[in-house]
Homo-oligomer: A and B are copies of this chain.
């Protein structure tokens, strides 16, 4: 049995002890939609020629957004499109032992043409395992889905959920129906069956969704980027209030790139109102804040940075130091350098965030070989 990052005969505990940094948000990319041709039935090939869903999902490129200047490989002009390049430029350079691939969200929940999106997701998932995960012990896959067709999406979870290279089911944060509602439960049931957490990552407000606020369209990328978290709050509240965690007590969510400074508001406001309204939700058996504490993890990038550094530590403690996961968000423009970020924290807290919490969220599969 080989370890993920350095084959050998270590026990899981020994392998875990050797980890320095696990990165939970690495955006690898398709070199181009045509890359998926070998993975996709021919009836869908015409869609690839039109660029697939990726162009719609990239409709919010404002000044300042985009990728890091040094993340483009001059040899092929691609950004994070080649695993060897990412190994050199991210994994080795920043001493990362394991990375969870989050790709591009393609706003799959939010777009139309659900039959194509479902086929696209399967092709992408296969390509990713084939090209990135099986040949490279440092990478693990998130599988993507078109969750607006939950039956097909659940089938995809069953198709790949047992693959040792897959560690997460990943949903984009927007959609037409909140994540707590029962239409999504087949996906959660399948994820639980395979022991996979659900990751949620921001996505563009395109296609079937309205703006990412409930009060209209924003006027800048700075606003768009800050508004991401509100979709996460609404999804989190819906998941708790709709009773998802009574139905699926082992289900975990990893909220990626949504921040965590808002968690005290969600926990405090729900707990405050819950006693007066609990007859409305008689299926809940714990305080809302207990579901938040027991079922959610939060990634670090972009971490809220208040002016007063004591406030950052207080926020961390309110949310729980064991609930925070390191994420670099490579190769995006607001990349967090793993070697310099979080150094205001104690080595113990830093170790939790960079290794222990990630293992607690994603489980032992992270340490197993992918082939």
Binding site for B on A (CB under 8 A): 62-65, 173-181, 205, 209-223, 225-227, 229-231, 233-235, 237-238, 241-242, 259-262, 264-274, 276-277, 279-281, 287, 289, 302-308, 311-312, 314-315, 318, 333-334
Q: In the assembled complex, which residues on chain B have CB atoms less than 8 Å from the CB atom of A289?
A: 306-307
Are A173 and B215 closer than 8 Å at their CB atoms?
yes
Q: In the assembled complex, which residues on chain B have CB atoms less than 8 Å from the CB atom of A242?
A: 219-220, 223
Are B270 and A259 closer than 8 Å at their CB atoms?
no
Closest Cβ–Cβ distance, residue A128 to chain B (whole Å): 26
Interchain Cβ contacts under 8 Å between A and B, 12 examples: A62-B280, A176-B216, A177-B217, A213-B234, A214-B234, A219-B241, A220-B242, A222-B241, A261-B262, A262-B262, A276-B333, A287-B307
A302 to B265, CA, bound (A): 11
Are B230 and A214 closer than 8 Å at their CB atoms?
yes
Are B218 and A178 closer than 8 Å at their CB atoms?
yes
Q: In the assembled complex, which residues on chain B have CB atoms less than 8 Å from the CB atom of A267?
A: 304, 306-307
Specify which of B215, B264, B269, B306 is in contact with A238 (CB 8 Å cutoff): B215
Are B273 and A226 closer than 8 Å at their CB atoms?
yes
Are B225 and A302 closer than 8 Å at their CB atoms?
no
Are A305 and B229 closer than 8 Å at their CB atoms?
no
Q: Given A238-B223, A241-B223, A318-B311, does the pair A306, B264 have CB atoms closer than 8 Å?
A: yes
Q: Given A205-B214, A210-B210, does the pair A222, B277 have CB atoms closer than 8 Å?
A: yes
Specify which of B214, B269, B306, B334 is in contact with A210 (CB 8 Å cutoff): B214
Q: In the assembled complex, which residues on chain B have CB atoms less than 8 Å from the CB atom of A216?
A: 175-178, 181
A355 to B189, CA, bound (A): 52
Are B213 and A305 closer than 8 Å at their CB atoms?
no
Specify which of B213, B226, B231 is in contact with A266 (CB 8 Å cutoff): B226
A270 to B302, CA, bound (A): 10
Residue of B at shortest CB range from A264? B261
Are B175 and A215 closer than 8 Å at their CB atoms?
yes
Closest Cβ–Cβ distance, residue A234 to chain B (whole Å): 4
Name 12 extra pairs, CB < 8 A, besides A213-B230, A214-B234, A267-B304.
A176-B215, A177-B217, A178-B213, A213-B238, A214-B231, A215-B231, A215-B235, A223-B242, A267-B307, A268-B303, A271-B307, A276-B333
Specify which of B62, B205, B265 is in contact with A261 (CB 8 Å cutoff): B265
Which of A63, A205, A264, A303 has the most chain B CB within a 10 Å cutoff? Answer: A264
A64 to B279, CA, bound (A): 8
Q: In the assembled complex, which residues on chain B have CB atoms less than 8 Å from the CB atom of A211?
A: 214
Q: Given A269-B259, A334-B273, does the pair A280, B220 have CB atoms closer than 8 Å?
A: yes
A270 to B226, CA, bound (A): 6
Are A302 and B269 closer than 8 Å at their CB atoms?
yes
Are B304 and A265 closer than 8 Å at their CB atoms?
yes
Residue of B at shortest CB range from A333? B276
Q: In the assembled complex, which residues on chain B have CB atoms less than 8 Å from the CB atom of A271?
A: 305-307
A238 to B64, CA, bound (A): 18
Closest Cβ–Cβ distance, residue A263 to chain B (whole Å): 8
Are B238 and A219 closer than 8 Å at their CB atoms?
yes
Q: Given A217-B178, A265-B259, A272-B305, does the pair A223, B210 have CB atoms closer than 8 Å?
A: no
Are B237 and A226 closer than 8 Å at their CB atoms?
yes
